[in-house]
């Protein structure tokens, strides 16, 4: 069984600070995490703006790996537009589109 490492004294104590918060503030370390708000990604066709795009699979002639295809206008390419929406924006988007949410 491997040896367990010994605990070491935290840097904020070694350097004489009263709390980890004071140490982080003095060193300029931000402990803020990303917002916990859920985000949703939507891919849209750059030609017609439709969200009915899918990735192409396989190696058919003229259709390469990693390309996208719009089902509405038959556009193919790699530069698909990607939007990031918050939960409220996404629910509004679904309402606008007429999709029922259970």
Domain range list for the chain: 41-97
* pLDDT top residue among 44 and 3: 44
- Has residue 3 got a pLDDT over 80? no
Cβ atoms of residues 90 and 40 within 8 Å: yes
Rounded Cα distance, 87 and 85, in Å: 7
Name the residue with tokens 């891919």: 43
What's the pLDDT tens digit per position in 50-66?
A: 889 988 876 666 555 67
| Residue 22, pLDDT score | 87
* pLDDT top residue among 13 and 102: 13
């Amino acid at each position: 069984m491997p040896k367990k490492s010994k605990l070491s004294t935290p840097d904020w104590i070694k350097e004489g600070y009263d709390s980890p918060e004071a140490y982080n503030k003095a060193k300029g370390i931000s402990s803020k995490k990303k917002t916990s708000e859920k985000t949703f990604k939507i891919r849209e066709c750059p030609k017609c703006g439709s969200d009915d795009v899918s990735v192409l699979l396989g190696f058919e002639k003229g259709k390469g790996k990693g390309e996208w295809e719009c089902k509405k206008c038959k556009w193919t390419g790699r530069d698909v537009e990607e939007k990031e929406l918050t939960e409220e924006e996404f629910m509004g988007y679904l309402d606008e589109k007429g999709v029922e949410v259970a």
